[in-house]
Amino acid sequence: MSENLFDILERGIADPEATAIETPAGERIRYADLVARTGRMANALVSLGVAPGDRVAAQVEKSVEAIVLYLATVRAGGVFLPLNTGYTPAEIDYFVGDARPRVFACDPARADALAPIAEAAGARLMTLDGDGRGSLADAADAAAPAFATVPRQADDLAALLYTSGTTGRSKGAMLTHGNLVSNTLALREAWHYSAEDVLIHALPIFHTHGLFVATNVTLFSGASMIFLPRFDVDRIFEAMTRATVLMGVPTFYVRLLQDDRLTAENTKGMRLFISGSAPLLAETHREWQARTGHAILERYGMTETNMNASNPYDGERIAGTVGLPLPGVEIIVTDPETGTELPRDEIGMIEVRGPNVFSGYWQMPEKTAAELRANGFFITGDLGKIDQRGYVHIVGRGKDLIITGGYNVYPKEIEAELDALPGVTESAVIGLPHRDFGEGVTAVLVGPAPPSEPEILAALEGRLARFKLPKRVVVVDELPRNTMGKVQKNLLRERFKDLYE
């Protein structure tokens, strides 16, 4: 039997009349509509030359038609390549040149700038705007709805997602049908998802979180989603009157907490609040629970592996942890130097194995071999530990580890102390070049009324070993973040690189 993600999705549709997607404009897309629209789009892609294994790239605004394009690519046996809408033409040139898609869908406003790039890569340039209109939509409208989904095996590619590449070049993570389906089913079970669920979908769809976690889990459950073009506080409160689940990055929760409408009463119909893609502050977790009565469920994943761990649905959701390995996923912590497995509670490199783990980096066999072990474990680049109860704790990216005077310093430990100080909203601890120490531990703070440097050092004395104490404290208006809410420490390191000169 075909293991094409779409075949499995379609075989599982219990009620074709049920709503799959609802838009703010009041449009309702039933499951039957989704099958027909993806059929039309798949026919259009085939007529544009897409054959099984071909890439279909898309740098388009969020729209239902963009979801249709993703599913249609998969139906046609193609490989979907979503691109961040913020990328400049120069960046797009790299991705499109590297992946050499057959079709490249872009916003009509950017078609002129991107045409030479598409041509150089041998891609057919088509357009799709935020309302789902453009030459690609026209081609789909003119095509027939019936389409025989191309049979695929679990290890055939379904998607190519480039990593955000804060160190060196972005790498294309090759994700198979089996990777996506297995993870969707694991999450559906872990989060008790059912056809009764209504998800508030306010995430971008060029990233694993919004494209796969949110969309696939909803569609594979026969549930529906309220499809918002972007995060919008008013629309989220409006949607909460009839939704059951919100999936967000930590910044969503921080912003919602700033609004008086966040009350137990206004969230009483909600079943589940999920956070991921970046660390949720323990304080945000506590405040949210105090205001609403709901414990945010934090989970952990990445482009290369889909989701790895999740706090339990029924058991204790522990703030500051990312929970337990998902069903079928193995997580170990190893010594970064030797690769040997470490005992519980010891900090080291997090490694992951399971049907969720990607099959390698596109056309980068050396990088693949360096990060994906022969025994199937993927070296995530995240440092963390597994506690006595089996909960996974992340202490930061390996590249954010600070080595000062020969000692390892994990930023998160110091950030937690700083965040707890009165007048501090949040912090980022980074290592900066330092003549004596190699790297100097440096605290970057955000207000509203941060204490002075001597006050901070006095407060941390006795709480942290001396070598961990920040050598300098700088205050900024806000921390630089990417669209998924991740603090971009590389930008902070660049900005303050001469601090100790």
Structure letter (DSSP) for residue 468? G
Q: Tell me whether residue 65 or residue 298 sits nearer to ligand AMP (CB atom).
A: 298
Measured from the CB of residue 87, what is the shortest distance to ligand AMP in angstroms? Answer: 14
Q: Tell me whether residue 139 or residue 247 sits nearer to ligand AMP (CB atom).
A: 247
CA–CA distance, 496 with 501 (Å, rounded to integer): 10
- Kindly list the distances between the CA atom of residue 491 and the CA atoms of 4, 372, 431, 478, in Å, as whole numbers in the listed order: 40, 28, 12, 12
Percent helix, strand, coil in the chain (nearest 5)?
A: 30, 25, 40
Measured from the CB of residue 250, what is the shortest distance to ligand AMP in angstroms? Answer: 8
Select from 270, 46, 233 the least CA-distant residue to 148.
46
Q: Tell me whether residue 134 or residue 210 sits nearer to ligand AMP (CB atom).
A: 210
Measured from the CB of residue 304, what is the shortest distance to ligand AMP in angstroms? Answer: 7
Biggest alpha carbon–alpha carbon distance for the chain: 71
Measured from the CB of residue 22, what is the shortest distance to ligand AMP in angstroms? Answer: 26
Q: Tell me whether residue 248 or residue 450 sits nearer to ligand AMP (CB atom).
A: 248
Q: Tell me whether residue 257 or residue 319 sits nearer to ligand AMP (CB atom).
A: 319
Q: Tell me whether residue 149 or residue 208 sits nearer to ligand AMP (CB atom).
A: 208
Residues 345, 346, 349, 350: what is their CA dihedral angle, to the nearest 10 degrees? -10
Q: Tell me whether residue 18 or residue 491 sits nearer to ligand AMP (CB atom).
A: 491
Contacts of 490 (CB under 8 A, 6+ apart): 166, 167
Measured from the CB of residue 49, what is the shortest distance to ligand AMP in angstroms? Answer: 31
Phi, psi of 384 (to 5 degrees): -175, -170
Q: Tell me whether residue 279 or residue 354 sits nearer to ligand AMP (CB atom).
A: 279
Measured from the CB of residue 173, what is the shortest distance to ligand AMP in angstroms? Answer: 8
Measured from the CB of residue 204, what is the shortest distance to ligand AMP in angstroms? Answer: 11
Q: Got the DSSP string for 394-444?
A: EEEEGGG-EEETTEEE-HHHHHHHHHTSTTEEEEEEEEEEETTTEEEEEEE
Q: Tell me whether residue 221 or residue 303 sits nearer to ligand AMP (CB atom).
A: 303
Q: Which two tokens stand for residue 47?
A: 């007529």
Q: Are strands 424-434 and 438-448 parallel, antiparallel or unpaired?
A: antiparallel
Measured from the CB of residue 318, what is the shortest distance to ligand AMP in angstroms? Answer: 12
Structure letter (DSSP) for residue 481? B
Q: Tell me whether residue 361 or residue 437 sits nearer to ligand AMP (CB atom).
A: 361
Q: Got the DSSP string for 33-83?
A: HHHHHHHHHHHHHHHTT--TT-EEEEE--S-HHHHHHHHHHHHTT-EEEE-
CA–CA distance, 301 with 322 (Å, rounded to integer): 9
The number of CA neighbours under 13 Å toward the Cβ of 8 is 19
Measured from the CB of residue 483, what is the shortest distance to ligand AMP in angstroms? Answer: 10
User: Within 10 A of 490 (CB to CB), how many other CB atoms are there?
Assistant: 15
Q: Tell me whether residue 310 or residue 404 sits nearer to ligand AMP (CB atom).
A: 310
Measured from the CB of residue 365, what is the shortest distance to ligand AMP in angstroms? Answer: 20
Q: Which two tokens stand for residue 6?
A: 């779409």
Q: Got the DSSP string for 318-379?
A: -TT--BEEPTT-EEEEE-TTT-PBPPTT--EEEEEESTTS---BTT-HHHHHHHB-TTS-EE
Residue numbers at the binding site for ligand AMP (CB under 6 A): 163-164, 208, 276-279, 298, 300-303, 322, 380, 382, 394, 397, 484
Provide the residue type at 432 as one letter.
L
Q: Tell me whether residue 126 or residue 322 sits nearer to ligand AMP (CB atom).
A: 322
Decide: helix, strand or coil at residue 166: coil
Measured from the CB of residue 303, what is the shortest distance to ligand AMP in angstroms? Answer: 3
Structure letter (DSSP) for residue 100? -
Measured from the CB of residue 323, what is the shortest distance to ligand AMP in angstroms? Answer: 9
Select from 422, 413, 387 the least CA-distant residue to 467.
413
CA dihedral sign, ordered 96, 399, 283, 276: positive
